Amino acid sequence: MLIKILYSLMFPTFLVVPFLYKNKRPAMLVFYRNMAMSFAFRKVYTKMLLLFLLAFHFYHLTIFQNHYDLIPSSVLCFAMFSHSLCERFIYFLQDCRVLWVGMVLSLTCLFIPHFMPLGFSIGVLLCGTVFYPSRLLRDLMLLTECAYRPDCYEDLLELSELYFRWDESGNSMLQESERERKHVFNEEIEDAEFEEIGHEQDEV
C-alpha cells in the first residue's frame, strides 16, 4: 500500500516545475549559484535525477510486475550513470525545438500503456534540463572578468538571467566580451608607453 502511495505521488512532482522556473527567491538564487560554480553540485544533481528514476522503476515493477515495459527507460537510466554523457544529453535538450519535441514525445508515451515508464523518464530528464545551467553561463564563468561575487545580490540576479539563456547568440556575447578585454588590455599598454615616454623626457 505504501509503495502505491509513493508511486502515485511521483506524478504530481511535475506540477512544481512552473512555480520554480526562473524563480528569483533567495533559495533559488543560491541554487543557481551552486549549480553554475560547483562541478560537484552539478554531479550530485544528475545523480539525484537518476535516483528518482530508479525509485520510479522499482515502484512500477513492484506494482505491475512487468519488467518488459521498463527496458526502454532502463537504457536511459544506464546512460545517466555517466555524468559527462548525461550532461551532454542535457545540453542537447537545451534547445527550444528539441525541448518541445521531447515534451510531445513524453506526453505521447504517457498515454501508451507499455511506454508509460519511458514517457515518465523523458519527462523527468526534461525537467532536469530546465534547471541545469546554460552553456553560455558555463563559458562566461571561465572568463577572468566574470568572477561573480557569491554574496552580492546584484551578481546573483545577473547570474539567474544567464542561467536560462539557451540560445546560440551566446557566442556573440563571448566574442564581445573578448573584444572588450583586448580593448582594455591595449589601453593599459598605451598608458604604460605614455608613462615611459614621459619619464624619458623628464630625464632629458
> What domain range is 177 assigned to?
170-204
Kindly state whether residues 157 and 179 are assigned to the same domain: no
Amino acid at position 132, single letter: Y
Could you give the CA distance from residue 136 to residue 94 in angstroms, rounded to a whole number? Answer: 11
Kindly state whether residues 136 and 162 are assigned to the same domain: yes
Kindly state whether residues 19 and 94 are assigned to the same domain: yes
Kindly state whether residues 45 and 117 are assigned to the same domain: yes
Kindly state whether residues 195 and 108 are assigned to the same domain: no
Please report, for residues 35, 57, 133, 186, the alpha-carbon distance to residue 1 in angstroms, rounded to integers and kept in the order given: 37, 16, 38, 71
Kindly state whether residues 142 and 162 are assigned to the same domain: yes
Geometric angle at alpha carbon 61, from 59 and 67, rounded to 5°: 155
Could you give the CA distance from residue 130 to residue 20 in angstroms, rounded to a whole number? Answer: 10
Give the pLDDT confidence score for residue 153 in this predicted structure: 56
Kindly state whether residues 128 and 204 are assigned to the same domain: no
Could you give the CA distance from residue 195 to residue 125 in angstroms, rounded to a whole number? Answer: 58
Kindly state whether residues 81 and 112 are assigned to the same domain: yes
Could you give the CA distance from residue 29 to residue 27 in angstroms, rounded to a whole number? Answer: 5
Number of domains observed in the structure of the chain: 2
Could you give the CA distance from residue 202 to residue 186 in angstroms, rounded to a whole number? Answer: 24
Give the pLDDT confidence score for residue 123 in this predicted structure: 92
Kindly state whether residues 30 and 57 are assigned to the same domain: yes
Q: Output the tens digit of pLDDT for each of the chain's 204 residues.
A: 788 888 888 888 888 888 888 888 888 888 888 888 888 999 999 999 999 999 999 999 898 888 888 888 999 899 999 998 999 999 998 888 888 999 999 999 988 888 999 999 999 999 999 999 888 887 777 664 455 555 555 667 777 778 888 765 444 454 554 555 444 445 555 555 556 555 555 555
